[in-house]
Amino acid sequence: MACTGAVNALVAGLLLLAAAAAAADDVLRVGSKRFTESYVLGEIVAQTAGASRTAVEHRAGLGNTAILFAALKSGAIDIYPDYTGTIALELLGLPAVPSLDELNRQLSGHGLAAGVLLGFSNAYALAMLEPLADGRGIRRISDLKTLPDIRLGLSPEFLNRRDGWPALSKAYGLGGLDVRGLEHGLAYAALARGEVEVVDAYTTDPQIRRLGLRVLEDDRRFFPDYQSVLVYRLDLPARHPEAWAAIERLQGRLSEAAMRELNAAVELERSSFSDAARAWLEQAKPPARDRSLLAAVFAPDLLRLTIEHARLVLVSLLLSIAAGVPLGMLAQRVPRAGRWILAGAGVLQTVPSLALLAFLIALLDRIGPLPAIIALSLYALLPVIRGTEVALAGVGRSMRDAGLALGLDRRQLLWLVELPLAWPGILAGIRTAAVINVGTATIAAFVGAGGYGERIVAGLAVNDQLMMLSGAIPAAVLAVLIESVFRVLERRGQGREPGGD
């Protein structure tokens, strides 16, 4: 009966998800990558479209270029900001950056287009602290090969892009240098502390001026032109004509200086992405932001993030219960099969969470809650299976014999004797899975599934510890609450055991 109730609840949850997805079909979805400028540009596009009375959703900080491109093709988002060099080299695999007409010819095969040049270029660069660069005689990227001991801190995307470190190091003969992967916001902090000496930067980055960085000359002209542009689905103008007309008016409005000021408002003055975008659209100064931890935790988006996080945990937990309890029963009944079941669940736990998400995105051809829920349910399988198997094995042989002596068949013995006696142990495994899922669910923000991870990911992007804590603290509180609820349920279950109160 417990399993039947879990399955019914699971079906109801999935139906609610399907209904929510269907209801959101008329929403214009804007995506953005996981760095400051993309967050701000995504907000500018979303607020511009929203002013036309179109329902708009900003799926912020979705990850790297490949994830955004897949999301756009699958229809999970409708539009996102990118750069001509990135589109040509990283997405389309072209040898150089062609004209916008040629880019659109190539993109049309994917059902996409690029348009609305925003007015500025933002190229990749390598940068060092000015005094350090002077002291070591470094002015050009090619000078780095004279310093084999130099330490580089590069963003994960730059390390893996076709127009990033692999091709750059080959073009300049920089193979063998000490390179480590660091989130872009954290890399600047590491540079200031002397933990790394070279970072990848964007030419519109305000940290260049704040930290006094020297942008190394690209003396072999490796980096292409990175004109800011919007990439969108071909059907977007027809589906949302009023919003598209408003978005088109952004053409040429953002200068490089204006973009640098917007980035500075977020990274240096700690304005929110939405406030910085709104201030630019209204030609006003971004409002002062309450920087207390209490205000950050109880920001207006707390309720939405809590609902999203709880949904991820609940639905994935129901899935893991529906699969894990029967598998645990089989593992206890058939030891030979049990070894394979437990080994398989153990292997799933060793797969890095982001790698599993990337695999599921490719398999399902979508982002959002579905791949996140499947990944979380797979991670939660092991404690549920193990808890069920151990709890059933702990039911004494004498209790089974007594049930058989009373005339119970094997099915009745399972439901009336074994499962009630094993329930506290099964519940302990489910409790462990639930607590694990609360923490692991923060990775869902990388694929647009929401939850407290949104704050953590945004905080990483701008190296804002307060923002990271505003996501981590509610997640920790939710984990404690779930732990407490399960402990109460366990005590009540033990009280109802034969021989209890």
Among 45, 38, 73, CA closest to 251: 45
Q: Are residues 394 and 257 in the same domain?
A: no
Please state the separation of Cα 313 from the chain's center in Å. 15
My answer on whether 34 and 110 are in the same domain is: yes
Report pLDDT for 116: 95
| pLDDT recorded at residue 401 | 63
d(CA 71, CA 53): 24
Residues 415 and 471 in one domain: yes
Mean pLDDT of the chain: 86
Q: Are residues 384 and 408 in the same domain?
A: yes
Last residue of a domain, one of 183, 215, 247: 215
> What is the Cα 26 distance to its own chain's centre?
24
More confident residue, 401 or 263: 263
Q: Which of 306-310, 328-332, 477-481 has the lowest mean pLDDT?
A: 328-332
Residues 35 and 134 occupy one common structural domain: no
Question: How many Cβ atoms from other residues are within 10 Å of residue 10's Cβ?
Answer: 21
Section 128-155 average pLDDT? 92
- Which DSSP state fits 217? B
Highest mean pLDDT among 3-7, 256-260, 282-286: 256-260
Which pLDDT belongs to residue 448? 79
Highest mean pLDDT among 14-18, 87-91, 239-243: 239-243
Residue 21: per-residue pLDDT: 46
Domain boundary among 264, 289, 314: 289
Among 181, 215, 249, the domain-final residue is: 215
Same domain flag for 89 and 156? no
User: Average pLDDT of 114-118?
Assistant: 95
User: Residues 398-424: what's their mean pLDDT?
Assistant: 75
- Going by pLDDT thresholds of 50, 70 and 90, the confidence category of residue 494 is low
Domain that holds residue 399: 302-495
Going by pLDDT thresholds of 50, 70 and 90, the confidence category of residue 360 is confident
The proportion of the chain whose per-residue pLDDT surpasses 70, expressed as a percent, equals 91
Q: Identify the CATH number of the domain in which residue 352 sits.
A: 1.10.3720.10
Q: State in Å, rounded, how far the first CA of the chain is from the last one.
A: 23
One domain for residues 211 and 82: no
Domain check: are 340 and 397 in the same one? yes
Which CATH number do you get for residue 35? 3.40.190.10
* Sequence-distant (≥ 6) Cβ neighbours of residue 230 within 8 angstroms: 45, 79, 80, 81, 82, 114, 115, 116, 118, 247, 250
Closest CA to 448 of 376, 378, 366: 366
User: Looking at the structure, do residues 263 and 404 belong to the same domain, yes or no?
Assistant: no
Residue 253 lies in a domain: yes
What is the per-residue DSSP string for 97-122?
Answer: ---HHHHHHHHHTTTEEEE---S-B-
Looking at this protein, which amino acid is placed at residue 191? Answer: L
Average pLDDT estimate for 388-395: 86
pLDDT at 76 over 80: yes
pLDDT of residue 66: 83
Residue 322 has pLDDT above 90, yes or no: yes
Over 60: is that where the pLDDT of 220 sits?
yes
Q: What is the pTM of this model?
A: 0.77
CATH of the domain at 161: 3.40.190.120
Tell whether 13 is covered by a domain.
no
Query: What does the H/E/C string look like for 222-283?
Result: CCCCCEEEEEEECCHHHHCHHHHHHHHCCCCCCCHHHHHHHHHHHHCCCCCHHHHHHHHHCC
Task: Specify if 473 maps to a domain.
Answer: yes
* pLDDT at residue 261, rounded to an integer: 92
18 inside domain: no
Do 430 and 331 share a structural domain? yes
Smallest CA-to-CA distance from 64 within 448, 493, 487, 381 is with 448
Residue 454 has pLDDT above 80, yes or no: yes
Q: Assign 365 a pLDDT band (cuts: 50, 70, 90).
A: confident
Is residue 4 situated within a structural domain? no
**pLDDT for position 404:** 67
pLDDT of 493 reads: 62
pLDDT at residue 7 greater than cutoff 90: no
Residue 209 covered by a domain: yes
Three-state secondary structure call for residue 361? helix
348 and 481, same domain (yes or no): yes
Residue 9 in any domain: the answer is no
Instruction: Give the pLDDT confidence score for residue 6 in this predicted structure.
Output: 44
Number of folded domains in the chain?
3
Q: Which of 70-79, 148-157, 346-355 has the lowest mean pLDDT?
A: 346-355
Query: What's the pLDDT at 501?
Result: 44
322 and 281, same domain (yes or no): no
Residue 460: per-residue pLDDT: 82
Residue 14 resides in a domain: no
Q: How do residues 96-105 score in pLDDT, each as one tens digit?
A: 899 999 999 9
**Collapsing DSSP states into helix, strand and coil, what is residue 354?**
helix
* Full 3-state SS string of 1-50: CHHHHHHHHHHHHHHHHHHHHHHCCCCEEEECCCCHHHHHHHHHHHHHHH
